[in-house]
Amino acid sequence: MIVRLIKNPKFLMGFLFILLLIVASFSFSILGDGSIPQTSVIYDDNGNAIRSAPHSPLNVPPFGTDMVGKEIFHSLIKGAKYTIGIAILVAAFRLFLSVFLSFILESYLPVLNRYINRVTEAFHYVPISLLTFFILSPVLIEGALGGFEYSFWDRVYFEVIILTLVAIPTLVTLLSNEMKIIFQNDFIDASKIMGANRWELYLKHVLPFLKPKFWIHFTQQIIQVLILLVHLGLLNILFGGARTSEFTQGVHVYISITSEWSGMIGSTYKYLWVAPWIPLAPLLMFSITILSLNLILEGFKQSLEHPLVIQNKNSKAKTKRTPAKEDFAPIKVRA
């Protein structure tokens, strides 16, 4: 499967972009000092101040600066590892828990699984972003007196747990249905007659069928987490917590602690009409990242649907050989 993926141009393009982004983000923090360049004022050749922050992409390429002069490009590179990292981490937890729970429910508690399926159908009509907002807002937004009630890592753990749990019912139902179809095959019945127990059936027969699809579900979950993070960012639920700061007299804004992209969008979308490049730059990076993940997902699907056929040269030559006269046996006709 790895060979087929490498030969797939869509998968290769998406994977290389995500890999390059993560490597650049870690290199920025490890090899550099991780500090973001700041250009508050631009001077002319004579040393006279001609422009103050925010600066447009024409003045400070490629993405301009924010309201205090910090270059957005470096902020995006710094926040890439947090944005993609939390999405990969949450997607992995979701898939791992869902695979385990779906096997337990489908194998040992099929009656309970039917009831869970009915509850999950009703769960489809509840907006996940709104539900997550109500759960996370008491923890991730500063109180009325200022300051957080919990430490930074406690907030991160809590957010990862909630982002994981909100998708478990739907994913468990999906995987249970896939396992149910596999368990209905004849070779499963044959293995049962031979004495195989549930775990042996799962490890030797079900898992090999599901393993290629796990990568598809994993990529889909990464995309869903990123979209959920954008929705939460617009509701001022930022990764690691949102700190309020007074931008001008009487005007308070939410500031991302980690430079995570959804936090950058949520804290800056108010400037859309004043300095549009500030919220649009992280939104652009979000869109390109999700597009790259969709290319990876499409590459996975194409590799599963159209496996690469590798032919043996000798067998191919034998197949194309022109029949010789000696290949045909004479037919004796009775008089």
Q: Each residue of 41-86: pLDDT tens digit?
A: 888 888 788 888 888 898 888 888 888 788 899 889 988 988 899 9
Report pTM: 0.80
Closest CA to 69 of 56, 51, 54, 79: 54
Distance CA 162, CA 257 (A): 19
Closest CA to 176 of 210, 199, 203, 222: 210
28 Cβ neighbours under 8 A, 6+ residues apart: 34, 74, 77, 78
pLDDT tens for each residue of 84-101: 999 999 999 999 999 888
